[in-house]
Amino acid sequence: MPSEKFDLEKPRKYSFLAKFFHWGFIVIFGYGIYKQVDELDQLADLSLLKFEMIFAAAFLFLLIIRFIYMRRTQKSSLPTATSQTQKYAAKIVHYGMYFCLGIIAISGISIGTLYWLGFKSGLIIEGVISIHEFSFTVIYFLILIHVSAAIYHRFLGDGVWSSMVPFWNEKINRD
């Protein structure tokens, strides 16, 4: 365990709504992955196309609401003794996740719109599909970093894990 002491401050807790947004997005994102469109031709089913467009638009709307809420009402749970490098890394990962999730939704809406307009093949739709797929690759990487950092903080015992996670609560390291 690091020799840093965190005893000068009370660990921050996120609000119920912040936790609801956090865990709710995990469920919604997981559902989106589970029911994903595997082949572009599946969008020929108009009811599926409509559902995908509504789902992506609702996801994007909720993502924007979450971003605004978190920026205006919540503070980082990182202890003040945390290095600037680690604080910047945390911001980059969090903003990167917001950005990638937004790009996933926007590119999904774009794919659906292009398909509906008759662009079923070609450079334009292939380019948007590539952006969509690349954003998924990046978000998986960012999620891995995010979860790894959360687990690191769980073992560090600085209160970061318990500020957002409702289980396996840590004993805050006050030594």
C-alpha closest to that of 114 among 124, 105, 104, 106: 124
pLDDT at 123 over 90: yes
Residue 24 belongs to some domain of the structure = yes
pLDDT at 169: 73
The answer to which of 39-48, 110-119, 163-172 has the lowest mean pLDDT is 163-172
What is the number of domains present in the chain?
Answer: 1
Query: What percentage of the chain exceeds 70 in pLDDT?
Result: 90
The arithmetic mean of pLDDT across residues 44-73, rounded, is 96
C-alpha closest to that of 15 among 88, 74, 100: 74
Residue 106 belongs to some domain of the structure = yes
Chain centre distance of CA 95: 9
Domain that holds residue 84: 16-164
User: pLDDT tens digits, residue range 10-38?
Assistant: 667 788 999 999 999 999 999 999 999 99
Residue 59 belongs to some domain of the structure = yes
